[in-house]
């Protein structure tokens, strides 16, 4: 899988690159408008991460350019601008998702995975991890073909964990992922503990192995030992 | 007592007019009288001169008797010892009017046929009284008309002259620096008012610019902070992936908390400045009860850590008109405040009335300090996780919508009420 990161802050681009590398995602970077246009012209990507404020141009123009060239890459706008108007304009111009800076790398990763899944949808939309199968379309989870009764949050959590396989996820990142728009107000992330506990219990009862590891002080990690 | 400028000038004008009238009326009467007497005396002198000129000196005793017989006003009588002309005022009985009347009487020595006589002539002053009165009356009448005219005209012109001043006064009274509406003064040809307007315009312009600057500064600063915050966040995420020992994990975990806090603070500052910039203008109808019901799960989840009991008392369906995004922020902040400042095993009561929303919660057992409660960065409890912007945001939202927020402490419950 290959993605393009259009971001003038090189260090952010580098962090994303490093984080994604271990999940088998190859990242190319473009730190300005012209370079980005060149790369889009020459290569095809599975996904593009787009910063709106570039030193030599407007990120929206890249969206327009993609549309003009009938390019089908999924685009996630990653921007410090977070007004409703810029969001709507982004979506109007063909962006698929919008993430406000600052963000958690884990969040970006699952959003990207979801986007690519939507784009590559070919009738079958299952995520399979050993004995666990998740049907994204019908939102059902089975362990060794036994159906699990998960709440919406638990399903969300499971997807988040599996998507960030082998990554340490901070409580803040999980809490923010689970609370969506309300995340900005939270000052206490302890509530995720209950969700983790319930998910672990349900997976265990269905005969799944315990993939959810607690990382001392920091958070949790999905790992197949 | 405070008096209107126009009333004050008119009042002093009137007082001056009345004083002048009071002094002028008797003075004028006196002067008129003196003038009339003077004129009468002139006539007396003139008559005497004519009498002497017209060769009455050739009168015989018979002629004099005859003259005296037909003349009552002018008489030649035997010498009274008068040496030179003298005029005296006298009250003389008038047989026709049957009362004493004022007269001017001239006594003058005349020589007729070498013999000295005294010439007397009298003129009745009764006519004068009437004349003086009518002159004085007319004069007063004119003065009064004149005064009324002057006062009326000055009042009308004063109203016209002061109009730009009152206009300016009203405009600055209505001026609010945080509303983007600069006053527009009516141009005036009066130098002082023009200067006043120009000075005010300059003052307002300068202050608005300063205010604007400060507002933009907060927004820009918050915006600019987002990139380094993003860097900070991604690096901590990267750091967390390393194989850390226990101590290192703890540091990274606390860094995570810090960056979350920083992020929240920044978002709240952005929100505040956006509210001030009136970015949230469109309104729609919101059913408060429904919103609370919909998100009750989310908040209950947050409240579980403190094992709080949440009771909803929806006595009526509260439907309000406001900006949806801001109304949600308002309710969320109130709700989270009630959770954040609560005690373990405490409770929260949410009440909706006809046009009022009430959040009551247990917590510290003394009332909060009301004066500083809604100020930015005022924290009642420095140990709390809040950033001191929650209530400031609540206050701003209520101000923007002309709602009323109030705090009470009763029965060991802290209550925040919003009246819509």
CATH numbers and ranges of domains, chain B: 5-147 (3.30.450), 192-276 (1.10.287), 284-419 (3.30.565.10)
Task: Tell me the shortest Cα–Cα distance from A79 to chain B, in angstroms.
Answer: 9
Q: What is the mean pLDDT of chain A?
A: 88
Sign of the Cα pseudo-torsion (A69, A71, A76, A78, in order): negative
Position of tokens 């505040």? Answer: B272
Q: Which tops the pLDDT comparison, A157 or B220? A: A157
Q: State the smallest CA–CA distance between residue B185 and chain A in angstroms.
A: 36
pLDDT given at position B88:
87
Contact between chains at A218 and B244 (C-beta distance less than 8 A): yes
Residue A28 pLDDT class (50, 70, 90 cuts)? very high
Residues recorded for chain A: 225
Q: Which of A19, A84, A102 sits opposite B230 (nearest CB)?
A: A102
- For chain A, give the DSSP string: -EEEEE-S-HHHHHHHHHHHHTTT-EEEEE-SHHHHHHHHHH---SEEEE-SEETTEEHHHHHHHHHHTT---EEEEEES---HHHHHHHHHTT--EEEESS--HHHHHHHHHHHHHHHT--S--EEEETTEEEETTTTEEEETTEEE---HHHHHHHHHHHHTTT-EEEHHHHHHHHHGGGGGG----TTHHHHHHHHHHHHHHTT----EEEETTTEEEE---
A residues 131-160 near B, CB within 8 Å?
A: none
Q: In what order do the strands lie in the sheet with B413-419?
A: B309-314, B347-352, B356-361, B413-419, B404-410
CA distance B91 to B99: 9
Q: What is the C-alpha end-to-end distance of chain A, expressed in Å?
A: 25
Q: How many of the other CB atoms lie within 10 Å of CB of A23?
A: 15
Are B365 and B412 within 8 A, CB to CB? Answer: yes
Question: Are the beta carbons of A194 and B252 separated by less than 8 Å?
Answer: no
Q: A194 CB near a chain B CB, below 8 Å?
A: yes
Contacts of A67 (CB under 8 A, 6+ apart): A93, A94
Which residues in chain B are closer than 8 Å to A170, comparing Cβ atoms?
236-237, 240, 253, 256
Closest alpha carbon to B117 in B159, B75, B150: B75
Q: Does A198 touch chain B (CB under 8 A)?
A: no
In chain B, the residue whose alpha carbon lies closest to the alpha carbon of A8 is B227
Q: How confident is the model at residue A62 (pLDDT cuts 50, 70, 90)?
A: very high
Taking only the tens of pLDDT, chain B with its 420 residues reads 677 777 787 788 788 888 888 888 788 888 888 888 898 889 888 988 888 887 666 778 888 888 888 887 888 888 888 788 888 888 888 777 788 888 888 888 888 877 888 888 888 887 777 777 787 788 778 888 888 888 888 888 888 888 888 888 898 888 887 776 778 888 888 898 899 999 999 999 899 888 888 878 887 888 888 888 999 999 998 888 888 888 888 899 889 888 888 888 888 888 888 888 777 778 889 999 999 998 888 888 888 888 899 999 988 889 999 888 889 889 999 998 898 888 899 999 999 998 899 999 998 888 888 777 888 777 666 555 667 788 888 998 998 888 999 999 988 899 999 998
Q: Which residue has the tokens 């030599």?
A: A56
pLDDT tens across A38-55, in order? 999 888 898 999 998 888
CB contact under 8 A, A186 and B302: yes
Handedness of CA B240, B244, B248, B253 (dihedral sign): positive
- Residue B188 C-alpha, separation from nearest chain A C-alpha, in angstroms: 44
pLDDT at A181 over 80: no
Q: Shortest Cα distance from A145 to chain B (angstroms)?
A: 31
Q: Domain limits of chain A?
A: 2-119, 126-222
Taking residues A12-32, report their average pLDDT. Answer: 90
CA distance B342 to chain A (A): 13
- The answer regarding whether domain A126-222 maps to CATH 3.30.160.20 reads no
B231–A9 C-beta distance less than 8 A: yes
If one counts every other C-beta atom within 10 angstroms of the C-beta of residue A46, the result is 17
A171-195 as b/e, with b when 16 or more CB fall inside 10 Å?
Answer: bbbbbbbbbeebbbbbbebebbeeb
**Are the CB atoms for B385 and B261 separated by under 8 Å?**
yes
Assigned CATH topology for domain A2-119: Rossmann fold (3.40.50)
Residues contacting B283, CB < 8 A, separation 6+: B321, B322, B323
| Residue B400, number of CB atoms within 10 A of its CB | 17
Residues A15, B302: C-beta atoms closer than 8 Å? no
Question: Tens digit of pLDDT for each residue in A79-111?
Answer: 888 777 888 999 999 899 999 888 899 999 999
Q: How far apart are the first and last CA of chain B?
A: 38
Instruction: Tell me the C-alpha distance between B196 and B190, whole Å.
Output: 10
Question: pLDDT tens-digit profile of A136-151?
Answer: 888 889 898 888 888 8
Q: Which residue has the tokens 């989310």?
A: B298
The CA distance from A158 to A9, in Å, is 31
Chain-chain contact of A101 with B227 (C-beta, under 8 angstroms): yes
Q: How far apart are CA B406 and CA B391, in angstroms?
A: 11
A109 near A21, Cβ under 8 Å?
Answer: no
Asked if A183 reaches chain B (Cβ–Cβ under 8 Å), the answer is no
**Which is nearest to A80 in space by CA: A96, A94, A101?**
A101
B126-164 burial: b if 16+ Cβ within 10 Å, else e:
eebeeebeeebeeeeeebeeebeeeeeeeeeeeeeebeb
Beta bridge partners of A129: A132
Mutate to test the interface with B, among A20, A185, A213 (most CBs of B within 10 A): A185
Shortest distance between the Cα of A176 and any Cα of chain B, in A, equals 10
Cβ–Cβ below 8 Å for A187 and B253 = no
Would you call A103 and B230 a contact, using CB atoms and an 8 Å cutoff?
yes
Q: Calculate the alpha carbon distances from A178 to B252, B257, B289 in Å.
A: 21, 17, 24
Contacts of residue B305 in chain A, CB cutoff 8 Å?
Answer: 188, 190-191
Using CA atoms, how far apart are residues B371 and B391, in angstroms rounded to an integer? 12
Residues from chain A contacting residue B219 (CB–CB below 8 Å): none
Q: Structure tokens of B234?
A: 């991604």
Distance between CA atoms of B348 and B359, rounded to whole angstroms?
7
Angstroms from A85 CA to nearest CA on chain B: 10
Tokens of B13: 């004008």
Contact by Cβ (8 Å): B197, B163? no
Residue B379: predicted pLDDT: 65
Q: Nearest CB to A187: which of B223, B238, B264?
A: B264
Contacts of A135 (CB under 8 A, 6+ apart): A125, A126, A141, A142
Chain B residues with beta carbon closer than 8 angstroms to that of A5: none
List residues in chain B touching A: CB distance below 8 A.
223, 226-227, 229-238, 240-241, 244, 246, 249-250, 252-253, 256-257, 259-261, 263-264, 267, 270, 274, 279, 295, 298, 301-302, 304-305, 325, 332-333, 336, 340, 385-386
pLDDT band at A75 (very low <50, low <70, confident <90, very high): very high
C-alpha distance from B223 to closest chain A C-alpha (Å): 7
């Amino acid at each position: 899988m290959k993605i393009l990161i259009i971001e003038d802050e090189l260090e952010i681009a580098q962090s994303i690159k490093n984080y994604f590398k271990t999940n088998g995602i190859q990242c190319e970077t473009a730190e300005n408008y012209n370079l980005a246009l060149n790369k889009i012209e020459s290569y095809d990507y599975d996904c593009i991460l787009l910063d709106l404020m570039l030193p030599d141009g407007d990120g929206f123009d890249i969206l327009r350019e993609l549309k003009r060239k009938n390019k089908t890459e999924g685009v996630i706008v990653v921007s410090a601008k977070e007004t409703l108007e810029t969001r709507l304009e982004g979506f109007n111009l063909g962006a698929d998702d919008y993430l406000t800076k600052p963000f958690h790398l884990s969040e970006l990763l699952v959003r990207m995975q979801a986007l690519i899944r939507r784009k590559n949808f070919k009738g079958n939309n299952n995520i399979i991890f050993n004995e666990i199968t998740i049907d994204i379309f019908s939102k059902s989870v089975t362990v060794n073909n036994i159906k699990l009764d998960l709440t919406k949050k638990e399903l969300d959590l499971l997807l988040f964990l599996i998507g960030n396989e082998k990554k340490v996820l901070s409580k803040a990142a999980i809490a923010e992922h689970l609370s969506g728009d309300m995340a900005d107000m939270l000052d206490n992330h302890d509530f995720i503990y209950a969700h983790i506990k319930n998910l672990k219990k349900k997976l265990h009862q269905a005969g799944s192995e315990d993939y959810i590891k607690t990382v001392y002080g920091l958070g949790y990690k999905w790992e197949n030992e | 007592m405070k008096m209107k400028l126009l009333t004050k000038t008119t009042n002093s004008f009137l007082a001056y007019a009345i004083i002048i009238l009071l002094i002028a009326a008797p003075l004028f009467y006196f002067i008129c009288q003196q003038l009339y007497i003077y004129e009468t005396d002139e006539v007396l002198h003139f008559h005497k001169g004519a009498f002497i000129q017209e060769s009455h000196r050739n009168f015989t005793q018979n002629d004099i008797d005859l003259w005296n017989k037909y003349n009552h006003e002018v008489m030649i009588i035997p010498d009274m010892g008068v040496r030179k002309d003298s005029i005296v005022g006298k009250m003389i009985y008038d047989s026709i009017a049957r009362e004493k009347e004022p007269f001017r009487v001239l006594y003058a020595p005349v020589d007729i046929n070498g013999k000295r006589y005294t010439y007397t002539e009298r003129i009745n002053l009764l006519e004068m009284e009437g004349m003086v009165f009518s002159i004085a009356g007319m004069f007063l009448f004119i003065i009064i008309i004149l005064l009324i005219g002057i006062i009326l005209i000055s009042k009308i012109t004063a109203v016209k002259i002061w109009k730009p001043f009152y206009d300016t006064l009203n405009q600055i009274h209505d001026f609010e620096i945080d509303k983007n509406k600069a006053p527009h003064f009516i141009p005036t040809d009066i130098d002082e008012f023009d200067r006043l307007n120009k000075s005010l315009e300059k003052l307002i312009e300068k202050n608005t610019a300063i205010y604007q600057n400060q507002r933009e500064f907060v927004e820009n600063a918050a915006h600019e902070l987002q990139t380094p915050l993003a860097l900070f966040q991604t690096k901590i995420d990267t750091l967390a992936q390393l194989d850390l020992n226990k101590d290192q994990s703890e540091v990274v975990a606390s860094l995570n908390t810090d960056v979350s806090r920083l992020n929240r603070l920044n978002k709240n500052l952005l929100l505040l400045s956006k509210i001030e910039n009136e970015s949230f203008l469109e309104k729609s109808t919101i059913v408060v009860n429904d919103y609370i019901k919909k998100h009750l799960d989310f908040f209950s989840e947050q409240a579980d850590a403190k094992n709080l009991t949440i009771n909803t008392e929806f006595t009526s369906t509260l439907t309000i008109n406001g900006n949806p995004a801001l109304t949600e922020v308002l309710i969320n902040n109130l709700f989270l405040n009630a959770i954040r400042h609560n005690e373990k095993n405490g409770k929260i009561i949410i009440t909706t009335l006809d046009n009022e929303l009430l959040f009551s919660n247990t917590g510290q057992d003394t009332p909060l300090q009301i004066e500083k409660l809604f100020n930015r960065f005022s924290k009642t409890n420095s140990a709390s996780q809040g950033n001191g912007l929650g209530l400031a945001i609540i206050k701003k939202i209520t101000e923007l919508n002309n709602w009323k927020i109030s705090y009470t402490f009763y029965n060991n419950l802290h209550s925040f009420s919003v009246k819509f």
